[in-house]
Amino acid sequence: MKLTAHDVARTIDISALKIDTSYQDLEAMVGACKKYDMGCAFIWQGFSADLARMLKGTTTQLGTSLAFPSGQETTENKVQQAIYFMSLGADQIDMVMNVGYLKSGFYERVHDDIMAVRKTARGFSLKVIIEAMLLTDEQIVKASEIVRDCGCDYVKSGTGFQAAPTTLHHVALMKKTVGDHCKVKAAGGVRDLDTLVKMYALGVERFGIGMASAIKIVEQAEKFPSGVDVPVLDINEYAEAELSAVK
């Protein structure tokens, strides 16, 4: 199997989410969307209406994030944010799970928080960010199970705001847990074509990537006119790799 540069671009949810993101950054990101036909674009909430307007006439979808990047806002806030973004015509809604609830063992609260948004955003693609790099393997499995059981479209590895990156182990464990019941999005530390292709081989279907790295990755893929080979990887091997290393 091969991925063309266009295939790669369509898997990417490009973002401009630095603390000092400006309107000029927004314009640059939209320019990249138009040039490379990126799959989806994300910006801070204050620029969301501008992004929605600027993407009209393109095939790049409008992405929005709820309680980003902490996830510790109230459920009511998340629901109201979802309603606002739906009014803008959002195609992809990403929400941050309350990691504090999960690490406290408050699994019912985690479920109810996600489910409130899922019910509000019926008919919209909903991804839940679990911040895998802050979790143990057992917690990654539990979080992925809750996301799956809430009927969400994707379980997403991270916000990109942690120093530690999403690893092949993280995404393999997430995919093995959710199976075909929901999809997997990788975000946080996906900065080169090799990482993207390996994660794709492990079942990742979307990638949240900052603007500079997103452009770099597509340009790397363009150097392979006939497409980039996707390796055959054993998901079980990668899902168990970190556990084996500890033993």
The verdict on whether 149 is a catalytic residue reads no
Q: How far apart are CA 247 and CA 245, in angstroms?
A: 6
In the structure encoding, which two tokens stand for residue 224, read together? 């392979």
Q: How many CB atoms lie within 10 A of CB 95?
A: 29
Of the residues 156, 175, 176, 183, which is catalytic?
156
Write the CA distances from 162 to 134, 188, 189, 247, integer angstroms: 8, 7, 9, 26
Q: Are 139 and 101 in contact (CB under 8 A)?
A: no
Q: How far apart are CA 139 and CA 99, in angstroms?
A: 10
Q: How far apart are the first and last CA of the chain?
A: 35
* Angle separating helix axes 211-221 and 193-201, nearest 10 degrees: 80
Of the residues 13, 94, 113, 153, which is catalytic?
94
Q: How far apart are CA 34 and CA 3, in angstroms?
A: 20
Q: Are 29 and 212 in contact (CB under 8 A)?
A: no
Collapsing DSSP to helix, strand or coil, 122 comes out as coil
Q: How many CB atoms lie within 10 A of CB 125?
A: 18
Of the residues 78, 127, 176, 185, which is catalytic?
185
What residue type is 141 in one-letter code? V
Q: How many CB atoms lie within 10 A of CB 245?
A: 8
The verdict on whether 50 is a catalytic residue reads no
The verdict on whether 127 is a catalytic residue reads no
Q: Give the side-chain half-sphere CA count within 13 A for 245.
A: 8
Catalytic residues: 94, 156, 185
